[in-house]
Amino acid sequence: MKTALFGGTFDPVHNGHIAIASATIAQCGLDRVRFIPCFESPHKSGVQSAEGRHRLEMLKLATAGFPWAEVSNWELQRKAPSYSWQTAQHFADEDTDLYWILGADQWVALEQWAKPEILADLLHFIVFPRDGIPLMPKPGFRATFLDTSHPASATAIRKLSGNSEHLASSVREYIAAHHLYA
Ligand code: ATP
């Protein structure tokens, strides 16, 4: 199985996430994308964010129509922040070819991720443009650069209390029903 891991806060999942995951499937010949919402500290103050169970549920709603999409609660059920290298190691046991999807904002910060040497060993990165950030290969890392771009931002969506055209209607309804980001 050729699998891409897609880690993030997904607070909430939006059409940009779905667009880049779909592009990965269409253009890289992969079999599936595993969306992995991260655990977030309940002590983070002053930040408008949704609990893990809500972020997980919204991911399930947004990916319901895509047979290649899976949603994993692996990081959430550990109940403490996970490093990406730990997540990659966990799933590397199951999948022979392992990829990792990220936006340009994360790619340029990759050296600050813990244990980059393990990441470089286990993962082939699939990188998407964002906010005009210049993209360049990094020595030692395997990467494919795709040109699908999407303007959605979870921060902007939270500021709009979830009233955004960049959300699946099922997700928008979920946000309203549970008064998230109000
Ligand atoms: P925010 O807008 O608040 O920064 P986010 O959507 O970037 O939120 P995450 O949910 O953690 O935050 O994103 C998960 C991954 O998806 C990250 O690698 C991020 O770079 C990527 N991503 C999110 N939105 C886009 C987008 N519109 N275009 C390209 N990559 C994106």
**β-pairing verdict for 142-145 and 69-71:** unpaired
Ligand 1 atom closest to 128 (CA): 29
- Is any atom of ligand 1 closer than 6 Å to the C-beta of 106? yes
Please tell me the predicted confidence (pLDDT) of residue 38. 95
Predicted pLDDT at 127? 98
- pTM for the model stands at 0.95
Atom 6 in ligand 1: residue holding the nearest Cα: 154
The reported pLDDT for the residue numbered 180 is 95
CATH number of the domain to which 57 belongs = 3.40.50.620
Q: What pLDDT, on a 0 to 100 scale, did the predictor assign at position 95? A: 64
The residue whose CB lies within 8 Å of the most ligand 1 atoms, and thus the one to mutate among 35, 63, 153, is 153
Domain, as residue range, for 56: 2-177
Task: Report CA(122)–ligand 1 centroid distance (Å).
Answer: 22
Residue 33 lies in a domain: yes
pLDDT attached to residue 67: 98
Low-confidence ranges of the chain (pLDDT < 70): 41-47, 95
Domain count, the chain: 1
